[in-house]
Homo-oligomer: A and B are copies of this chain.
Amino acid sequence: MAVMTYLEAIADGLREAMRADPSVVVLGEDVGVYGGVFKLTKGFLDEFGPARVIDTPISEAAIVGAAVGAALVGLRPVVEMQFADFISNAFTQMVNVAATSAYRAGGCVPMVVRAPCGAGTHGGPFHSQSIEGYFFHTPGLKIVMPSTPADAKGLMLAAIADPNPVLYLEHKALYRSQRGPVEAGLAFEPLGRAALRRAGTHLTVLTYGMMVHRCLEAAERAAAEGIETEVIDLRTLLPLDLETIAESAARTSRVLIVHEDRLRGGLGAEIAAHLGEHLFTSLDAPISRISAPDTPVPYAPPLETAYLPSVDRIFDGIARLARW
């Protein structure tokens, strides 16, 4: 199996889909000639031509809206947001148009919106955000966020295959830092299934995105102190794999939720509320959450470092919970 970076794996999935089906097209700002600001679609214009790799003006609302229209007439558009942050300009088309199409009129909108997100690259408040918290509340959308190259490709293919609008979150800090084996061809990774990254008996850590790697590191440290941590990578954030989550939580009876997104109204809130209500009698400790603080993402390295949940903080959370 080929070894690829997270970024190469996303591109590989997208390329395979475009080779498999001429109705898959890419559109966004600077995706063609430039190959995208992260060079993810580099070479796509040459291979697929300007009719399928479409450079657009700076118009997020129209880009997403056009993807909806194109999907309605049979294309499978894959939109690139230059940075996830800018998707707020397309909020209406995302949550009110694309997401409600099936429910209101039975119209399928098979489209993917790629959103390079996350902090750690000194991008400041508008080039670093986690945006899942804004979309998780929306019926009709699906949201995925891979943490490994294999998932990056598999989930991209599954997102394109899905007949619903899918928000595909790719963490900028993982683009080149993550390398791993990736299957060739149409190697789908089905939506809606969490992945067990580490088996454990003392507590369950639920996480996704860049935090998966920090949680695994913290779990290793905890193991050195005799704490066996189970780490689950959610992968699909909407719809959540509640079955897998609940099974593990019931088994370990202790749950720590870790995400990079802000605390208030983040995914952790819904998961904690859900488990707290349905596993009330089987929990031996309060469900805890570790996340970024409720502030914008600061630019200066000392602030940005303090902003992101660290391995130390996660380790402390694990230790506290295990001893509870």
Measured CB to CB, the residues of A under 8 A from B are 85, 88-89, 91-92, 95-96, 100, 103-104, 125-126, 133-134, 136-137, 139-140, 262, 264-270, 272-274, 276-278, 280, 285-289, 294-296
Can you sample 14 A-B contacts with CB below 8 Å?
Answer: A89-B91, A89-B92, A96-B125, A96-B126, A100-B296, A104-B125, A134-B137, A139-B262, A269-B269, A269-B273, A272-B272, A272-B276, A272-B277, A273-B273
Q: In whole Å, how far is A226's beta carbon from the nearest beta carbon of chain B?
A: 24
User: Does A100 lie within 8 Å of B88, measured CB to CB?
Assistant: no
Kindly list chain B residues whose C-beta atoms are within 8 Å of the C-beta of A136. Answer: 264-265
CA distance A136 to B270 in the complex (A): 13
Kindly list chain B residues whose C-beta atoms are within 8 Å of the C-beta of A133. Answer: 137, 265
Closest to A286 in B: B280
Kindly list chain B residues whose C-beta atoms are within 8 Å of the C-beta of A140. Answer: 296
User: Does B265 lie within 8 Å of A289, measured CB to CB?
Assistant: no
User: Does A270 lie within 8 Å of B265, measured CB to CB?
Assistant: yes
User: Does B296 lie within 8 Å of A286, measured CB to CB?
Assistant: no
CA distance A288 to B276 in the complex (A): 9
CA distance A134 to B132 in the complex (A): 11
Q: In whole Å, how far is A275's beta carbon from the nearest beta carbon of chain B?
A: 9
Q: In whole Å, how far is A276's beta carbon from the nearest beta carbon of chain B?
A: 4
Q: Which of B96, B139, B273, B288 contacts A295 (CB 8 A)?
A: B139
Closest to A126 in B: B96
Closest to A136 in B: B265
Kindly list chain B residues whose C-beta atoms are within 8 Å of the C-beta of A270. Answer: 264-265, 269, 273
Kindly list chain B residues whose C-beta atoms are within 8 Å of the C-beta of A294. Answer: 139
Known contacts A273-B273, A287-B276, A294-B139: does B265 contact A265 (CB below 8 Å)?
yes
User: Does A262 lie within 8 Å of B137, measured CB to CB?
Assistant: yes
Which 6 residue pairs across A and B have the least CB separation, nearest first? Answer: A137-B265, A280-B286, A272-B273, A91-B91, A276-B276, A269-B269
Closest to A280 in B: B286
Kindly list chain B residues whose C-beta atoms are within 8 Å of the C-beta of A272. Answer: 269, 272-273, 276-277
